[in-house]
Amino acid sequence: MTAVPSKRQKLAAQKLLSEGTPTEVLTFEALSLLGQRQEHQHQHQHEADTDVTNGDRSAEQTPNPQSTQPPEEQSQYTPPPPQTELELEIEQLSSTGDGLAYSADKNHVYVVPFSIPGDRVLAKTFPQKPNPLFTHLDFIQVLRPSAQREGVTPGCKYFTVCSGCQLQMMSYEDQLRHKKTIVEKAFKYFSNLDPSRIPPVGETVGSPLQYGYRTKLTPHYDKPPKGADDKTLPAIGFGMKGTRRVLDIEQCPIGTPILNEGFPIERKKVYQTFRKRKAGATILLRESTSRKPIQSDTEKNGSEATRNDDTMAQNIGDSAANRDAGLTSKPDQTVQTEPNSESVASKNEDLNSVSRLEAYIASHNSAPSPLTLPAPKPLSVRRRRRSSGSPEIIYTYDTYKDIKTYTSTGTDWTTEHVGEFVFESRANSFFQNNNSILLSFIRYVRENCLPREEDDTTSNDNNNSNSNDTETANKNPTITSPTTSPSTPSTKTPPIKYLLDAYCGSGLFAVCLSPLFSSVLGIDIDVQGVEAARHNATANAIPNAGFIAADAEYIFADVPFPPDQTAVVIDPPRKGASVDFLRQLCVFGARRVVYVSCNVHTQARDVGMLVSGFDEVKPQGGGDEKQPGGHGKILGGATARPRPQWRYEIESLRGFDFFPQTGHVEGVCFLNRVPN
Ligand SMILES: C[S@@+](CC[C@H](N)C(=O)[O-])C[C@H]1O[C@@H](n2cnc3c(N)ncnc32)[C@H](O)[C@@H]1O
C-alpha cells in the first residue's frame, strides 16, 4: 500500500506537472517509494509498540523514528561527494527505465540506469543540481544479478554506455509487463483523476520485431575541435549515458538492417567533409520500401538478382556470423529464413552486424502477445550493393517482394506499407518508426474506434458511461472483425459516420480508417505532412478524406460534421494537445475519442482534462473565470467563448510497444462523451 503524500508534496508535484519530463516522472515515483517506506515503517512501529506493550524487547531495534517523518520534513539530504561509489539494492524500475534504490538512511532515492529490481549494483555519484528527493548515479556494474536477468543477454555491445536503450537486460515479456506499469503510473500521477475513473490498464501489445525494427535513425556528431586536421574524426552516434558527449557507434541493432547497411556509408561521407564543418549535425537515415508482386517462380527463388549486371549479389547466410547463428547456407545461395531459432536466440549476444541482426530477426518475428499480428516470414533475404554504392535488401515473400533502401536526404520521398495501404512521406516528416507493429495497432484502432452496439450507452445523452462498460471493454480487448460500414443504428442515436483526424501527419489514421466512415477530415501543422496525406488518399483510392494544413485547434472552427455522429482521433506530438484544443473538443462534443500518444504522461494529463471537463467561462465584469478540474488556462477572448457541454469517460486504456528495448510506450485510450 502506498502512503498518501502530504498536501505540500502534492502541490510541489503539481507545480512541476507539464510535459512528463523524466524529472517530473521521477519526482512522483521517488515520492511514492519514500511513501511506501514510511508506510512500512509506520506499520513496523505500530507492531513494535504493540510488542513493547506485550513485553517484547526486540521492539527497541525499531529504526530511527525520525525517518518515519515525511521526506520534506527531514533534514536536507546531502549526497556524497562526486565519484563516491555506492553499493545499492534496486527496489523498483521507474517509468524512465532506471532502477530506484534507497539511500542508506532510507530517506532519499538513488536513480541507477541499467539496473532492475533484485539487482545489487555498484554505482557512483557525479556532480549535479541537488534534488531533495532523488539523485542520479552512474552505473558501474552488477554485483548480484536480479533473477529477472536470467537467460537474457543484451543484444547491443553499446548497451550501458549508449543512452538510447534502457531495457535490454530484461526479457521481452518483462519489458511488456513493465510498460503496463508505465501506463498505470502515468494515469495515476498525471491525470489528476480519482482512481475510480481510470479503468484497469490492458496488457501491453508487443512488437513482432524486438530488434531491427526502427525505420528511422538520427545519429549525430559535434563540431570539429579547434586545430582539427585530416586525421581528426568525430564520434558519430548517440548520447553517451550520463555525459554530454557523443558515443561513437558503428551499428544500432534496434535500427532495421538496411539502415545499418547505410550507417557506415553515411559515416564515411561525414569523415570526408568533417574538417571543413563549422558545426555539428544530425545524420538522417530513413528506410523506404518498394513492394513488387512476384511474377514467377524464378523470381521467388531469388535468382534474378544474380542476373542483374548492376548488382553484386550477396548471401546473408554466407557470413561467419550466420554460421555462428545457426544458419546453414552454401555460397551463392539465397538464405532460407527458417533458421534454427534456438541456436540463433542463444547466440544473440551481439547484434552489431547486419548479418547477425538479420538472422536474429528471422528467428524472432512471431507474435509476442495475443493482439500482435506476427511479422510475415520472408522466404529469402538478399543483400546487394548497386554500382552507385547504395545498398538494397530484398525480402522475398510468397506473393511479393520488398526492396528496402534508405535515404539520408530529408526531402526525399520514402514509402511504407501498412497492410493493404501504401504511404509516402518526406524522409524528414513524421511517420511511425516501427512498421512491424503498425498492422496490429491499426487493426486494434479500427476494431475499436466505433462503439460496439451493446456498449453504446454513452452515446445517449441521458446516460453516463459506467464502470461496467469499462470492465466489458477490458475483458474483450479483441472485438469483432473489422466492419466496413458505420456502426449499426442504435434506437436512440444515429451511427457515427464521420472522423476527425487531429494531428494527422501523412494520413495514417485517415486513410486506414476511411472505409469505416462516410467522410474523414485530417489536420496537421506540417504542410509537407498534409501534402503527403492528400497524395496517400489518392494513391490508396480513398475518395472520402480531405486534409487541412493548420494548427489542430482550428479544426473546431468550422467542423462540417454533426458531433453526435463524429469520432475524433488525437495523436499529438510528445508535448500533448493544447488546453484550447481539448476545451474546444468538450464544446464540440464528438461522440467518441481515440487518444494515441508516444508520451503516456502528457496523454494522461490531457485525458484527465477531458474526463474532468471544463467549466463555463462566465462573462467578464463581475463573473468568475474558473475552470474546475484544475484546468483553468484561459486564453484570449474568454468572454465570447461557448460553453463546454461535454466531458468524457475512459472506456479502455493500454500500451502498444512501438519502442522495444527502450523505456517508451505508445498509449491508446478510447473515450466516450457524457454530459458535463
Ligand atoms: C505523433 S505525430 C502523428 C502523425 C500521424 N497521426 C501518424 O500516426 O503518422 C504528431 C503530428 O502532429 C503534428 N503537429 C504538431 N503540432 C501540431 C499542431 N499544433 N497542430 C496540428 N498538428 C501538429 C506533427 O506535424 C505530426 O505530424
E strand or H helix at 220, and its extent?
strand 220-221
CA pair distance 581, 647, nearest whole angstrom: 13
Confidence of residue 420 (pLDDT cuts 50, 70, 90): very high
- Over residues 670-675, the mean pLDDT reads 95
Is 432 annotated as belonging to a binding site? yes
CA 172 from centre of chain = 15
C-alpha cell at 14: 503539481
Query: What b/e string do you get for 230-251 counting C-beta neighbours within 10 Å, with b at 16 or more?
Result: eeeebebbbebbbeeebbbbeb
Rg (CA), the chain: 27
Residue 283 DSSP code: -
> From the CB of residue 11, how many other CB atoms can be counted at a distance below 10 Å?
11
Is 524 annotated as belonging to a binding site? yes
- Hey, which of 423, 424, 430, 554 would you mutate to test ligand 1's pocket, going by the most ligand atoms within 8 Å of its Cβ? 430
The answer to whether 497 and 486 are in contact (CB under 8 A) is yes
3-class SS of residue 305? helix
- Hey, which of 525, 600, 602, 664 would you mutate to test ligand 1's pocket, going by the most ligand atoms within 8 Å of its Cβ? 525
C-alpha cell at 354: 547486419
- Over residues 304-314, the mean pLDDT reads 39
Confidence of residue 453 (pLDDT cuts 50, 70, 90): low
Query: What residue owns the CA closest to ligand 1's atom 26?
Result: 505
Sequence-ordered list of residues with C-beta below 8 angstroms from that of 35, at least 6 positions apart, any chain: 2, 3, 4, 5
CA 41 from centre of chain = 36
Strand (E) positions, 67-214?
Answer: 85-89, 92-93, 99-102, 109-112, 120-125, 134-144
Cα-to-centroid distance, 425 and ligand 1 (Å): 13
E strand or H helix at 423, and its extent?
strand 421-426
Please report, for residues 5, 45, 68, 161, the alpha-carbon distance to residue 36 in angstroms, rounded to integers and kept in the order given.
10, 14, 11, 31
Residue type, 345: A
Sequence-ordered list of residues with C-beta below 8 angstroms from that of 668, at least 6 positions apart, any chain: 441, 444, 445, 594, 595, 596, 653, 654, 655, 656
Query: What residue owns the CA closest to ligand 1's atom 27?
Result: 505
Q: Write down the pLDDT at residue 296.
A: 76
- Give the highest mean pLDDT range of 79-83, 300-304, 515-519: 515-519
CA 129 from centre of chain = 28
Instruction: Summarize pLDDT for 36-56 with one digit per residue, the tens.
Output: 766 655 555 555 444 434 433
Q: Write down the pLDDT at residue 486.
A: 36
Cα-to-centroid distance, 302 and ligand 1 (Å): 40
Quick check: 70 pLDDT over 60? no
Position with higher pLDDT, 458 vs 116: 116
Of 252, 504, 598, 669, the active-site residue reads 598
Q: What share of the chain is helix, strand, coil (3-state, %, to 5)?
A: 30, 20, 45
CA pair distance 91, 640, nearest whole angstrom: 53
- Give the highest mean pLDDT range of 5-19, 132-146, 334-348, 372-386: 132-146
Residue type, 41: Q
3-class SS of residue 568? strand
Q: Which one, of 434, 405, 438, 409, lies nearest residue 421 by Cα?
A: 438
Atom of ligand 1 nearest to the CA of 574: 1
**Burial class, 272, CB count within 10 angstroms (exposed 0-12 / middle 13-18 / buried 19+):** exposed
Q: Write down the pLDDT at residue 300.
A: 67
Mean pLDDT estimate for the chain:
80
Q: Write down the pLDDT at residue 351.
A: 87
Residue type, 577: A
Please provide residue 671's backbone torsions phi and psi, each rounded to the nearest 5 degrees. -130, 150
Position with higher pLDDT, 306 vs 405: 405
Instruction: Summarize pLDDT for 202-245 with one digit per residue, the tens.
Output: 999 999 999 999 999 999 999 888 877 778 889 999 999 988 89
3-class SS of residue 143? strand
Quick check: 379 pLDDT over 60? yes
Is 51 annotated as belonging to a binding site? no
The answer to whether 170 and 143 are in contact (CB under 8 A) is no
Q: Which one, of 184, 257, 263, lies nearest residue 218 by Cα?
A: 263
Q: Which one, of 87, 79, 95, lies nearest residue 141 by Cα?
A: 87
Position with higher pLDDT, 326 vs 414: 414
> From the CB of residue 399, how many other CB atoms can be counted at a distance below 10 Å?
8
C-alpha cell at 512: 486506414
Q: Domain residue spans in the chain?
A: 7-145, 216-437, 448-675
3-class SS of residue 532? helix
Q: What's the first-to-final CA gap in the chain, in angstroms? A: 33
Confidence of residue 478 (pLDDT cuts 50, 70, 90): very low
User: Please, what CATH class does the domain formed by 7-145 belong to?
Assistant: mainly beta
Cα-to-centroid distance, 553 and ligand 1 (Å): 12
Q: Write down the pLDDT at residue 59.
A: 30
- Over residues 393-422, the mean pLDDT reads 96
Q: Is the ipTM of this complex over 0.90?
A: yes
Q: Write down the pLDDT at residue 44.
A: 53
Confidence of residue 116 (pLDDT cuts 50, 70, 90): very high
- Over residues 513-537, the mean pLDDT reads 97
Quick check: 281 pLDDT over 70? yes
CA pair distance 25, 602, nearest whole angstrom: 11
Q: Write down the pLDDT at residue 355.
A: 84
- Give the highest mean pLDDT range of 229-233, 376-380, 437-441, 615-619: 437-441
Q: Write down the pLDDT at residue 226.
A: 81
CA pair distance 282, 237, nearest whole angstrom: 9
Is 360 annotated as belonging to a binding site? no
**Burial class, 124, CB count within 10 angstroms (exposed 0-12 / middle 13-18 / buried 19+):** middle
CA pair distance 384, 394, nearest whole angstrom: 8
DSSP H helical ranges for 338-377: 341-346, 354-363
CA pair distance 112, 147, nearest whole angstrom: 18
Atom of ligand 1 nearest to the CA of 501: 6
Instruction: Summarize pLDDT for 560-613 with one digit per residue, the tens.
Output: 899 999 999 999 999 999 999 999 999 999 999 999 999 999 999 999 999 999
Cα-to-centroid distance, 428 and ligand 1 (Å): 13
Pairing of strands 335-336, 391-396: unpaired
Quick check: 640 pLDDT over 90? no
Residue 618 DSSP code: P
- Classify domain 448-675 by CATH number: 3.40.50.150
The answer to whether 506 and 423 are in contact (CB under 8 A) is yes
- Over residues 143-147, the mean pLDDT reads 97
Atom of ligand 1 nearest to the CA of 578: 19
Cα-to-centroid distance, 94 and ligand 1 (Å): 28
Q: Write down the pLDDT at residue 295.
A: 81
Cα-to-centroid distance, 154 and ligand 1 (Å): 33
Known catalytic membership, residue 669:
no
- Over residues 460-476, the mean pLDDT reads 33
Of 60-74, 247-261, 419-433, 638-652, give the lowest mean pLDDT range: 60-74
- Over residues 19-23, the mean pLDDT reads 87
**Residues within 6 Å of ligand 1 by CB:** 430-432, 503-506, 508-509, 523-526, 529, 551-552, 571-573
Confidence of residue 655 (pLDDT cuts 50, 70, 90): very high
The answer to whether 286 and 414 are in contact (CB under 8 A) is yes
Atom of ligand 1 nearest to the CA of 598: 1
Instruction: Summarize pLDDT for 321-353 with one digit per residue, the tens.
Output: 332 332 223 333 333 333 333 333 334 457 888
Residue 205 DSSP code: B
Q: Write down the pLDDT at residue 10.
A: 47
C-alpha cell at 426: 518526406
Q: Write down the pLDDT at residue 468.
A: 32
Q: Write down the pLDDT at residue 141.
A: 96
3-class SS of residue 34? helix
